[in-house]
Chains A and B, each alone.
Chain A
Amino acid sequence: MQQTRIIEIAVGFFIACGMAALFVLAMKVSNITSIGDNKGYTLTAHFDNIGGLKVRAPVTIGGVRIGRVTGVGYDEQRYQAVVTLQIDDKYRRLPEDSSASIFTAGLLGEQYVALEPGGSDTFLKNGDSVKLTQSALVMEQLIGRFLFQKASEGTTQ
């Protein structure tokens, strides 16, 4: 009888350890807390070039994360990339004339969408589109432009 009691206690301890490990993985290691804020409203933005922007990239205002990119597509009518942004419900007051740009976090970091609030009194609603956009900087274009400029300087001298 004593023997089975010890075994049962040990098994209980084992199961508790396993559950605790799962709990640690859920709460401490992963971002389970952000599961609840899946609700939010969506905005779209058209960009000439999105560079390496990916789904699940952050959307920020002033460096604060307020949502994430939920879709990247191509608009055949306008020949532009269309990015779907999901903004948390907490951030309802985005002026209508806000602008969106694609930036890179650090030199090698991932790309994200930065929103810049405008001055309008009306706010963006679900399904609205951000009109003012600035494309991602593509390194090759930048270098190409720089070289071109250098070359033209050389000919004028």
Chain B
Amino acid sequence: MINWLQNLGRRAMRVFERLGRAHLFLWQVMTGLPQAILRPSLVVTQLYSVGVLSMVIIVVSGLNVGMVLGLQMYNTLSDFGSEESLGQVVALSLVRELGPVVAALLFAGRAGSALTAEIGLMKATEQLAGMAMMAVDPLRRVVVPRFVAACIAMPLLAAIFSAVGVMGGYFVGVGLLGVDSGSFWSTMQSRVDWHEDVLNGIIKSMAFGFVAAWIAVFEGYDAIPTSEGVSRATTRTVVETALAVLALDFILTALMFGVD
């Protein structure tokens, strides 16, 4: 019994310790931010690996999600004889929820895990220690540009996801199923509000980008410097980002749309 309690206590302490370290780490990253603005070339290089290389998966899955939404919603809506509101349904669900959330989950899998593995391996092969030896702050040189790049890339990827998804819904709805093109766009435009829906979606994706970037770089920086430790950190990045994004999504949705 006592042993069990001790185990529980030790686990809880470890969780809180990690949480505290993560926040201290975030604070250090924040103080390093001006450095990233002074040296944009580092950020640009990271934007390439974080943003450009994620674009393929974002575009392909956005298109597919939009097409599936169009197909499924058409079946349901045609029961009520209101196929014209297909555009509105597709656009609202993409802009409000699916765009930011699915893009963040894909981002965690595609870019977050890569960031963690990269930083973790740098730590395992003592490159970070070597940098510190040469009086180059590894936090500012390695971590901050990656963090900034991920924060910039995420809202853009989510916007691309939503826009491509709407196109996918358009292809299926108008091209295949014969919904009228004019009413597809007009119901969409009359229902989707720039401020309420699109802007809130962008704010959501910014929050997700921040959290995903934070988790990815922290897990890499905090990884146990062995090959097993790095692999475990990479797994944790994906799992924790997914959980954090979904939980945060509920909170943000309740704050934005729940209270009338």
Contacts and interface: CB of A to CB of B under 8 A. Distances in A.
A13 B160 CA distance: 12
Contact of B160 (A8, A21, A26, A35): A21
A26 B48 CA distance: 26
Interface residues of B, number: 33
Interface string B147-191: 000000101110110111010000000000000000001001110
B194 A21 contact: no
Interface in B28-48: 41, 44-45, 47-48
Contacts of B160: 17-18, 21
B239 interface: no
State the majority secondary structure of interface residues on B: helix
A21 B52 CA distance: 15
Interface string A104-127: 000010000000000000000000
B22 interface: no
Given A25-B162, A29-B95, A14 B47 contact: yes
B232 to A, nearest CB: 31
Interface of B: 41, 44-45, 47-48, 51-52, 55, 80, 82, 91, 95, 153, 155-157, 159-160, 162-164, 166, 185, 188-190, 192-195, 197-198, 202
Q: Which 10 A-B pairs have the closest CB atoms?
A: A18-B156, A21-B163, A21-B159, A32-B194, A30-B194, A21-B160, A30-B192, A24-B163, A14-B52, A10-B52
